[in-house]
Amino acid sequence: MIKDSFPFVEELKQLETGSLQGRMVPFDVAKRHITSILFCFVSEMTSSSSLSISNINNNDIQLISKLVILLLGAPGSGKGTQAQLLSKLLDIQHISTGDLCRNEIKIQSELGIIIQSYLEKGLHAPASITDPVLIKCFNNIDQDKGFLLDGYPRTFDQVIEAKTLLDKCGRKIDRVIYIDVSENILTERLKLRLICPTCSSGGHINSKDINEKVLCQKCGIPLEKRVDDSKDDIIKTRISTFQNNSEKLLSEFQSQGILYKIDGAQSIVQVYENIVTSLSLSVKTVSENGIVK
């Protein structure tokens, strides 16, 4: 039986009924449903007390949950999805500069209007605009708990800025997860990506019918294209910007011994398992040296 909490629940029930009656289901429909089921499987797995991931236990989770973890990846790499799943697993806050900026745009604040002008060109808002918001977030987090950084820092200069901001809060970046995805896959993902204007949940356009409305499974309202995903030239600029900035950035974290590279072309479940396993192995090694307590 298909659980009522699953996305596309009505269509999934129809799919289940149709398969029992021997009716054929179009490939694109089946693919969309399978992706939905996989995402729900991971979501339930993160809220479960017993995870089916090797080399991970509750002690590992407690150690990881004290870390400040940076998720790096180009637009469309899936870092936002993984951040949400890890946040549930570790019970720590997910700080997304993208979500913070989009919220300002949504309420059309003075700050949001400025941010929107950058996003419409495929650019990121400067640190002078985002720093005050980030400092407020950092200061509101329990000092005994870690948190996830998603989308910041994204350049070498911002690493220095982030260090200054975190120093003020008595924190530092402990681990960096880099989700690596090829440019071709990134481009295809971004062309199909949608977002809920109310709750920021994600979705995808049906590639066989680009005019089909896709509803948010939480709010029930139509999903929309993000401003920065709306045009091919903007998508190209965003990917190119990340690639130009990432080499020096990744090299810096590699030299610190805190960088973990993950193949982001895999399924959501596989990427999630690899991230958790990498973090688990890292805290096992560090705790043996008496650094994480």
102 is annotated as an active-site residue:
no
226 is annotated as an active-site residue:
yes
Q: Which of 102, 171, 189, 226 is catalytic?
A: 226
Do the beta carbons of residue 224 and residue 202 sit within 8 Å?
no
154 is annotated as an active-site residue:
yes
Residue 290 φ then ψ, to 5°: 80, 20
Kindly give the interhelix angle for 232-256 and 156-168, rounded to the nearest 10 degrees.
Answer: 60
Q: Which of 102, 175, 189, 238 is catalytic?
A: 238
Q: Which of 32, 102, 154, 175 is catalytic?
A: 154
Q: Which of 32, 102, 175, 193 is catalytic?
A: 193
In whole angstroms, what is the distance from residue 12 CA to residue 103 CA? 32
Q: Which of 32, 79, 171, 175 is catalytic?
A: 79
Residue 95 φ then ψ, to 5°: -100, 110
193 is annotated as an active-site residue:
yes
Q: How far is CA 10 from CA 68, 96, 219, in A?
A: 39, 31, 15
Q: To which H or E segment does residue 227 belong? A: none
Reduced to 3 states, what is the DSSP secondary structure of residue 241? Answer: helix
Do the beta carbons of residue 203 and residue 223 sit within 8 Å?
yes
DSSP string, 188-226: HHHHHEEE-TTT--EEE--TT-TTS--B-TTT-SB-B--
In whole angstroms, what separates CA 129 from the centre of its chain? 22
Catalytic residue annotation: 79, 154, 193, 226, 238
